[in-house]
Structure 1
Amino acid sequence: MASALTGLALLALTACGGNSRSDPDTKDPVPLPSPTATKQQISEKNLGYTWPLTVDHGTAECRKGDQAVITVPDGTTYALNDRARHAGYSDIDPVRVSGDSGDKVSLGSLLSKTLKLCRVGR
């Protein structure tokens, strides 16, 4: 089971593109504490070069049915995975940053951290 989950995580990371940024405000990320709820504050300070959004922070959350979402400072909640998109949450592209190569920065690290919230309390 663990190897299957690892494989899925790697697939998600590569499927989203491996592009990163060379200009984040945070070059030495601060680790997130272990999640204790299905909702957690997350920011560029936690992901550094792999922070994929134009805003510097948000609230990551796992909602019913493993729907991974992030709510940004203006109050908009965006889908981070297909389950959330199918549930009707907005596409993340309006706040997704482009990396040095011009491609969108991968959602892999943000999605991975958010999916960990789905396992809290199980």
Structure 2
Amino acid sequence: MENLSLFIMAGYGTDDNYEDPGFATPVAGGRGMYKLWSGNWAVWGGGTYTINEKTSFNTQISYDEGENLGIAANIAYDIVPGLTITAEVDYLHAGDFDEPDFSNWTGADDEDSLGGMLRFQRSF
């Protein structure tokens, strides 16, 4: 299908140093600048379907060893050449939310969170 593009990727990174109080101050909760996911592994996937010349649908899903699940979906519409409006909805399930060492870089204050945005983008 020429209107569909997909991707999948995975990452692995040890969290041993990020859990060691002697190595990381403050203790990073298993995450770091180059390994933002919880646990040792994570997987991401998604795709874009071009509906017509001006409209496309995009979705992305991520999951990691800490049972964190993120889903994003959006519709982008080119109003005129160089001006795009994108409506997006996002879902986050924080898998380790009730654990005492839970580390949350998203600012979410609930185990399940829903959000969205409306973006106007001008390209020159």
TM-score (norm 2): 0.29
Higher relative CO (Cα under 8 Å, sequence separation at least 6) belongs to 1
- Higher helix share goes to which structure? 1
Normalised to the residue count of structure 1, the TM-score between the two structures is 0.30
Larger Rg: 2
